[in-house]
């Protein structure tokens, strides 16, 4: 999946509502992009970046 390539990690056991909404919004953008040449919206880009940062913070918290 493209979001995984961007560094957004999803856990199959603890998928949240926010994770699912991000996936749905990204899929909707991909579908719209087929017909129009539209860029990734600031809102979606912001949410993807926040998810990447959140994942990086969680991995450093786990290390002693």
- Phi then psi for 34, rounded to 5 degrees? -60, -40
42's tokens: 């600031």
- State the angle between helix axes of 17-35 and 42-62 in degrees (0 to 180), rounded to the nearest 10: 140
- Contact criterion met (CB below 8 Å) for 25 and 41: no
The confidence band for 62, taking pLDDT boundaries of 50, 70 and 90, is low
Instruction: Using the predicted structure, report yes or no on whether residue 7 has a pLDDT greater than 70.
Output: yes
Predicted pLDDT of residue 57:
78
Predicted pLDDT of residue 64:
54
What tens digit of pLDDT does each residue of 14-30 get?
A: 678 888 899 899 999 99
User: Closest Cα partner for 8 from 61, 62, 44?
Assistant: 44
Instruction: Using the predicted structure, report yes or no on whether residue 3 has a pLDDT greater than 90.
Output: no
User: Closest Cα partner for 48 from 15, 8, 4?
Assistant: 8
């Amino acid at each position: 999946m493209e979001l995984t390539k961007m560094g957004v990690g999803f856990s199959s056991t603890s998928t949240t509502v926010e994770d699912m909404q991000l996936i749905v919004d990204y899929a909707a953008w991909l579908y719209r992009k087929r017909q129009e040449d539209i860029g990734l919206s600031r809102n979606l880009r912001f949410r993807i970046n926040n998810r990447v940062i959140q994942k990086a913070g969680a991995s450093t918290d786990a290390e002693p």
